[in-house]
Every structure is written in C-alpha cells, then in structure tokens.
Amino acid sequence: MMRRVLLAANWKMFKTVPAALAFGRELLRRYDVDHFSAIDVMIFPTALALWPLSQRFAGSPIQIGAQNLDLGTEGALTGALSGYLLREAGAEYVLVGHSERRQHFGEDDELVATKVQAAISAHLHPILCVGETAEEREREETLAIMRRQIGAVLPGLGSQDAIKLTVAYEPVWAIGSGKVPTAQDANRAAAAIRHQLGERFSPELADRIRILYGGSVSPKNVREFIEAPDIDGALVGGASLNLETMVAMMESLAH
Ligand code: PGA
C-alpha cells in the first residue's frame, strides 16, 4: 500500500493573520505543482488565520487544518471553537491531543477520545498526537504509554472513521528541544501504532492509515524519518515557521 507523504506545519501560537497571509502568498509562489506532486502539504495556523488562509490556498493542493477543537456544534460556550465552526472556516484536518494541549490545558485520554469523535462528526480528519515524556522514556514505558493513549481512542471509532484518522508520534522530549530519536526508534514506535490499529480494525486498514513523526524535525533530518518504512510524514513546529526551511523540507521530500 502506497501512503502519500504528508508534511504538516504546526504553527502553534505564532504568526498574526497578515504574517500568515504573507507566508501563504510566498509559499504559493514557490509551490510548483508538478515538482511537489508526490507530497501533501498542510498548514495548521492559528484559528484566526484559518479562513483567510483557506481563501488564499483555494484551488491549490495546499490544505489547512486547525490545532485544536472544542466539543459541541454551536451554543452558549464563550470562547469555544467547535469542529463545525473550524470546518466552515476552511479547516479539513484538526490536531487532537497534541502534548501541549495535554500538558498546559489538562487534556486527558478521555477528552482526547471525545474530541477525535467530535472531529469526525464535524467532517474533519483528526490527527491524533501521542508520545511519551522523557521520564516515561527513561522508565522504558514508551510503547506502553502510546498503547494507552491510542487504546483510549480506538473503541469509539468504526472502520469508516478510522480511514479518516492520521496518527502522529511525537515524543514530548523531542518537541522544540533539538533532540530527536533515531529514525529506527521512531519507526519502532510507528510500527507499534500500526500494529495496534491492525488489531482493532484489520491489518489492511491499518496499512492505509498515515503515521507521522514529530519533534525537532528539520530540513536536515526529515528525509531520514520519512524513509523509515512505517513513517509516512512529519508534523513540524519550529522549522515550519520559516519559509526557507519549510521549502527546504518540501524539496527534500519531493524526490
Ligand atoms: P517542533 O514541534 O518541530 O518545534 O519540535 C513539533 C510539534 O509540536 O508538533
């Protein structure tokens, strides 16, 4: 099964709307459709920039996603952004359970599972983020932690939902730290995720689900991760904020 390579840019709480639009304009100028035809490029800007950026990318292959969603559709929930609103603002994908959401916003496995279902109900494609902390890694609990994080989400998903799922393996200690696991270690984690998906659904279905690596990905190392057999793309924070490093990563994946 050939899974298309995905380069997903997580901009976190960076870039004003004008800065996001300027980046979008320049990215489109540099985006040669034929040259980059083998990869999918996706941007996760702040929620404020979703609509303007989706308008800018309209008619181009570059896709847009949100970094988080709240539960519900519409209602008296001050400050909340539902999957429905994000979808109507141009998002096609949504990150769920990013470690920064788990750490700073108290999101636990149960809430993450509910959010994955809410994303699917809102016709968004969820990218479920999982990964161990440094302490968990030292205790050699990496695979057990991921098994728990993914195991919380899978019971609520049918096969039709699972096809829409992407999983991102992001070791917490690698995010924004400049430290990375070896491609072999990252692949071991990705293979374990695929195995668990295969147990829940079928190996054939698991074979169709994209698994990304994230954490200090850069133009220097992105290719190595992608070449690992169970890793189908990268979720990139810091290095995606700069146009030159973003284009350099696209270049290194394009051939
Ligand atoms: P980083 O972030 O590339 O800056 O390490 C990755 C992420 O948090 O998705």
> What is the tens place of the pLDDT at every residue in 59-100?
999 999 999 999 999 999 999 999 999 999 999 999 999 999
Are the CB atoms for 49 and 17 separated by under 8 Å? yes
> How far is the centre of ligand 1, averaged over its atoms, from the C-alpha of 7 (Å)?
12
- Domain 5-254, CATH: 3.20.20.70
Planar angle of CA 168, 14, 116, nearest 5 degrees: 35
CA of 32 to the centre of ligand 1 (A): 26
pLDDT of 170-213, one tens digit each? 999 999 999 999 999 999 999 999 999 999 999 999 999 999 99
CB 40, CB 6: distance < 8 Å:
yes
Q: What is the pTM of this model?
A: 0.98
Residue 249: count other Cβ atoms within 10 Å of its Cβ: 26
Domain boundaries, the chain: 5-254
Catalytic residue among 98, 100, 107, 125: 98
**Is 195 among the residues known to form the active site?**
no
Q: Is 104 a catalytic residue?
A: no
